[in-house]
Amino acid sequence: MGKRIIFHIDANSAYLSWSAVAKLQHGDSLDLRTVPSIVGGNPETRHGIVLTKSIPAKKYGIQTGETLREALNKCPDLIIVPPDYSLYMQCSIAFGDILLREFSPLVEQYSIDEYFLDFTSMERLYVDPIKAAHTIKDKIRDELGFTVNIGISTNKLLAKMASELQKPDKVHTIFPEEIPTKMWPLPIEELFMVGRATSKKLRSRNIKTIGDLAHADPAWVQLFLKSHGLLVWNYANGQDISLVRENRRPIIKGIGNSTTIPFDVEDRNTAHLVLLSLTETVAARLRQAGYCARLVSVSIKTSEFYSCSHQRKIASAIDCTNAIHQIACELFDELWKGEPIRHLGVRVSEFCQNDFQQLSIFEKDYVKERVLDKTVDSIRARFGNGSVFRSSFINSGVRFSCGGTMNDEEYPMMSSLL
């Protein structure tokens, strides 16, 4: 058997591209991809975060994940488009259908806008994988109206790294023999699984490029990065044995919601109420996705833009709104030092299926509350998100459902990208 051939297909600026295509199809003359524009937040209140940005917006230094206010300070004429998760799911499905129907029976959906494709068994039909990749790229552009980048290699890691090279609408390869010229000169931050904290530790030890890490002693790297150090060292050397697994649903790693508050929060009760508002959304998404969570996290940004976070692992997985809110409030109380707050966030992760639960004898039995949660979920699904809410929000100045970008038609699996 010959070497594996793996494709990584990644939609370029997915949310923005899909919104732009939809608007063009409905008669809009402006292509959002050609002007400074973003998808995210609420265009009316100008609260929320940037989910994705156009290439012209990048020239203004606009970053994914920053607040709308920060983005507008950089570009006052920025066009803001609210997300449409129903549309995005349709585009994602259509995207994957082309791959599965015409190019390989083995397709793995890595996220809403990314697929891996095992091309190894398709070489009899498509002799040249590079030509096949161009065929895929052009077919998606011509039939669906948006562009993709395709990376090609012998494993998933290198294929993903290849697809991140020059964008948009490109095909790139990083085969093992190309690693020294195409991958090693890149900044260490470009390596998959090297985040801000990891890159800071590596740069403090004079590891500035992927090649620097690849040539470092793995035992030395493991001393200060633990097991993660060995993982990224292997990645720097292009080593990855993971298989492309047939899967048409994105893997949800976490569900979160956050909000920039219109006023400075200076008391604990108001902060707890904001956390409840955020938890309402998070817990509803969690239940709709069919999961329970074992990890709850809370994040705070003060009026002085100091950010911090705190998390707790719990013995029994939960999906109950009150249970998550209680833990979120306890985490907040442990974390908050009394400074005025401008931004709060709640996130849950480490999921398991919610059809099997085993409660600790030391924990409250949330069975009755879970039944109530499901009843409320069904009422909101039928009559709208504002059809029923807690009386504690009346005259409080805090919206019963704030933060993020959720609307009544949102798909829960998308919240992992927030």
Scanning 237-345, the segments in alpha helix (DSSP H) are: 268-289, 321-335
Q: Roughly what angle, to the nearest 10 degrees, separates helices 367-383 and 268-289?
A: 80
Region of 27 please: left (phi>0), alpha (psi -120 to 50) or beta. left
Look at the domain 1-183 and name its fold. Answer: Alpha-Beta Plaits (3.30.70)
What pLDDT does residue 138 have? 95
From CA 55, how far away is CA 52, in angstroms rounded? 10
What band does 407 get if pLDDT is binned at 50, 70 and 90? Answer: very low
In terms of Cβ atoms closer than 10 Å to its own Cβ (0-12, 13-18, 19+), residue 168 is middle
- Determine the pLDDT at residue 179: 97
Most confident of 224-238, 273-287, 304-318: 224-238
Higher pLDDT, residue 403 or 164: 164
pLDDT for 350:
81
Measured CA to CA, the distance from residue 61 to residue 53 in angstroms comes to 10
Q: Rounded mean pLDDT of 203-230?
A: 94
Residue 6 has what pLDDT?
Answer: 95
Q: 6-11 and 52-53 as β-strands: parallel, antiparallel, unpaired?
A: unpaired
Instruction: Give residue 355's pLDDT band: very low, low, confident or very high (50, 70, 90).
Output: very low
* Annotated domain spans of the chain: 1-183, 187-236, 254-417
Is pLDDT of 40 > 50? yes
Q: How far apart are CA 51 and CA 64, in angstroms?
A: 6
What are 146-205's pLDDT values in tens digits? Answer: 999 999 999 999 999 999 999 899 999 999 999 999 999 999 999 998 988 899 999 999
Least confident residue range of 78-87, 165-174, 256-265, 372-381: 372-381
Locus of tokens 């949800």: 252
**List 44, 102, 108, 114, catalytic entry:** 114
Helices (H) and strands (E) in the chain, counts: 12, 12
CA atoms within 13 A on the CB side of 328: 32
Helix (H, G, I), strand (E, B) or coil at 388: coil
Residue 357's pLDDT band, with cuts at 50, 70 and 90, is: very low
As a CATH number, domain 187-236 is: 1.10.150
pTM of the entire structure?
Answer: 0.65
CATH entry 3.30.1490.100 includes domain 254-417: yes
Residue 415 confidence (pLDDT):
29
- 341 has pLDDT over 50: yes
Q: What is the pLDDT of residues 372-397, one digit of tens each?
A: 777 777 776 666 666 666 766 766 66
> What mean pLDDT comes out for the span 91-99?
90
Check whether 359 has a pLDDT greater than 50: no
User: What mean pLDDT is predicted for residues 299-303?
Assistant: 88
Q: Does 114 qualify as catalytic in the annotation?
A: yes
Q: Which residues are CB-neighbours of 202 under 8 A, at least 6 positions away?
A: 188, 194, 208, 212, 213, 225
Average pLDDT score over the chain = 83
Q: Is the pLDDT reported for residue 48 higher than 80?
A: no
Closest to 73 in 3D by CA, of 305, 416, 345:
305
Give yes or no for a contact between 396 and 274, defined as CB atoms under 8 angstroms apart. no
Mean pLDDT confidence for 42-71: 83
DSSP codes joined into one string, 305-327: --EEEEEEEEEEEE--HHHHHHH
Mean predicted confidence (pLDDT) in 315-322: 83
- Has residue 2 got a pLDDT over 70? no
The mean pLDDT value for 292-320 works out to 86
